[in-house]
């Protein structure tokens, strides 16, 4: 993905991780989240917040009725920004007023969601504060 708007960050790295849609495999996604966030020199608190948000997003996208489902996490790292798109087999998402959404929005800067024919998706966007080192 290249810069298409003046001032927008270009994606420098793209990492995609696919795991079975089983709670036992979410540890892999959490660990990858923390490792990739560390590449951006985020603070330990920011890394932990992102790790928790990714875990919550993955959990929301699990569907116990879908035995062969997959969780796909796509990490886009740019200059000072990390976007994580998580896709899973869930056919519905909780209301935006639910506790789960409050947690997500408190932990990362921006949360967007959607649903499609093959499941739902959640995008978490964390942008490093200006002046942070």
Q: What is the CATH number of domain 11-127?
A: 3.30.565.10
Could you state, in order of their start, the residue ranges of all structural domains in the chain?
11-127
- Residues 24-76 pLDDT 10s: 999 999 999 999 988 888 889 999 999 999 999 999 999 877 777 899 999 99
| CA atoms of 87 and 21, how far apart (whole Å) | 10
What's the whole-model pTM score?
0.83
What are all long-range contacts of 107-113, with beta carbons under 8 Å and residues at least 24 apart? 107/49, 107/50, 107/52, 107/53, 107/56, 108/49, 108/50, 108/53
């Amino acid at each position: 993905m290249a810069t298409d708007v003046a001032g927008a960050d270009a994606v420098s790295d793209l990492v995609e991780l696919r795991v079975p849609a089983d709670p036992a495999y979410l540890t892999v996604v959490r660990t990858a989240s923390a490792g990739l966030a560390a590449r951006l020199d985020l603070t330990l608190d920011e890394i932990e917040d992102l790790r928790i948000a990714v875990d919550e997003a993955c959990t929301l996208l699990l569907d116990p009725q879908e035995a062969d489902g997959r969780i796909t996490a796509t990490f886009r790292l740019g200059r000072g920004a990390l976007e994580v798109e998580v896709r899973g087999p869930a056919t519905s998402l909780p209301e935006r007023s639910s506790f789960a959404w409050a947690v997500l929005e408190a932990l990362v800067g921006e949360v967007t969601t959607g649903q499609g024919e093959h499941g739902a998706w959640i995008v978490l966007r964390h942008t490093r504060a200006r002046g942070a080192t």
